[in-house]
Structure 1
Amino acid sequence: MGDWQGTWKSTGGKEAPLVAQVIALGDGAYQANLLDEFDKRIPALVVLQGKEADGKVAFNGKAADGKLRGSEWTGAIEGEKFTGTFKGEPSGTFEMKKVVRLSPTLGAKPPEGAVVLFDGTCLDHWQTRDGKDSPWKLLPEEKAMEVRGGGVISRKKFGDCKLHLEFRTPFMPKARGQGRGNSGVYLQGRYEVQVLDSYGLSGESNECGGIYGCGKPIVNMCAPPMQWQTYDITFTAPRFDAEGKKIKNATITVIHNGVLVQDRTEVPNPTAAHWGGDPKEPGGLHLQDHGNPVQYRNIWIVETKGEM
């Protein structure tokens, strides 16, 4: 499972980069998306289906489109290597090695003046919707907290701000769609940046890095489950005139694992399952409980007060 990187070589001597996203599907089944490169919204060269047996995962598949259309691929993962052959026009071999690609902002320290909402030591800055203490599980060794017992919201409320947050989706290979590592980060309790194990998927507005129902991520930067990820979010609250009429929508910029996935995306209305409140007023940071044990850590906010 996870990321692989290497090359393919044709029998005619051509060599080109090749990467793979290998997704666990449960009961020993896997899918491998073979691509030209990571971190781009591009179609797969070929999608392979695999099955685990005798200490390895054997794959096969046929390229449906693109420059390798019609070629038939077979391969296997054994240990830290993913190797195989392909036949057609062209024919050749491929070899990749396991790689782990971490966000460059993992572990980012809060700057002077930041509001630290969670540093791994306590849940004091969080409450339930009705004002009770957070029921989430504290994980001291990970300096993290785990979703359980309902959503939570920060006691402090915010307007314009910059947010750093780290999260980890659970390993749920048999789950699909919105049932696979689902949570959400709601700015002001109203505007959701989705959290989901959508590793290797197309990148929709209801997947990781999406603004729910409003904006697809520029590229799907979701890491494999059980790997810590980062959101670095810039939020500008909606603006209203003296009569209370909205004159400017909220905007959200999202850097997911170091890559821009939302660029000042306008959010005209609070997104689905928001926690309400007057959009003219500041609101807390809400972390959603969608029934999956997603974990969070290293959460801090810099209040910008219209400085962006």
Structure 2
Amino acid sequence: MKRKIWTRIIFVVLIILLALTFYQLPFYVEKPGMAHELDTVVQVENGYHDKGKLMLTTVRMGRANIYNYLLAKVKKYEDIVPLNEVRDKDQTEEEYNVYQLYLMESSKNNAIQVAYSRAGKFVDSNYKGVYVLDVYPDMPAAKVLKPGDRITKIDGHSFESSEKFIDYVQKKQVADTITITFVRKGKEKNSTIQLAKFDHAEGKIGMGIGLVDDREIISDPKVKLKTESIGGPSAGLMFSLEIYNQLTKNDLTKGHSIAGTGTIDPDGTVGRIGGIDKKVVAADNEGAEIFFAPDDEITPEMKKAYPNIQSNYKEAVKAAKDIGTKMKIVPVKTFDDALNYLKALK
């Protein structure tokens, strides 16, 4: 009899423990990810090959349950991040993921523009439409559109930019109906939306979406970047270096293993990213000899809001010293800083 009772107790406990793995806490756990070779991600048509390797670095970010939360409390280089510091309070998980994918697409486009311009190759852009980042649940668009949709026409009209798209809608009245043409998962669709007053935009007329321009880069030679499993903008610098390396005859790597991180603007400016200490760990685990870190400027406003904030470069140096790596941390403010460093490399 006692044996049956203990069997039931153990069974119930196991069910509870299993259920706790699926219960999500209002936190994310951030930990070192991987350092991934870019010659398998970036493919320039008839591009040159390198003897060494350029690598992007990542952090792993996932919703916390009770188990990985407790582990992160005791493990080094694993951080617990409150939900509201990762995404806006009104932003859904789907909208957050779509936004990360959009940031990745923008990062790729900027990297292509920078690399091709510096290499003296042809590069241009083609406007594809309006990319839907988020949809407000209390607005008319919520019944029709989803984050990730691309609107190509309104009432049969195409537009050259999101500004002209917005201007067209703003000339309408509350309760006016517009016909939109949009693309979802490669399929073109048509639907009608009745406009309403948009309280989130100071009472302007709208359908209730957050939007950005969706542009396609045209280049010669052609280039493909396979980034289906990667989100965010932080690989921009390393993308641009790998693209440039495949476009030009002289190998930038010279047989070395080089990692790094940082956003890239169309003018070549390298920007700050999050989780750089974990990316240093990931690069060291992969045997990188050199690590490019954004040498970003800390403004008085940033210092006031976050008194302990440091530049990415200083954070990376601190992490490298802490783990005892021989990997050289190199500060960069621009694409040209990284390029000139590699050109001078023995």
Under a length normalisation based on structure 1, what TM-score does the superposition of the two structures give? 0.23
Higher relative contact order (CA 8 A, sep 6+): 2
Higher radius of gyration, 1 or 2: 2
Structure with more of its chain in strand, by fraction = 1
Structure with more of its chain in helix, by fraction = 2
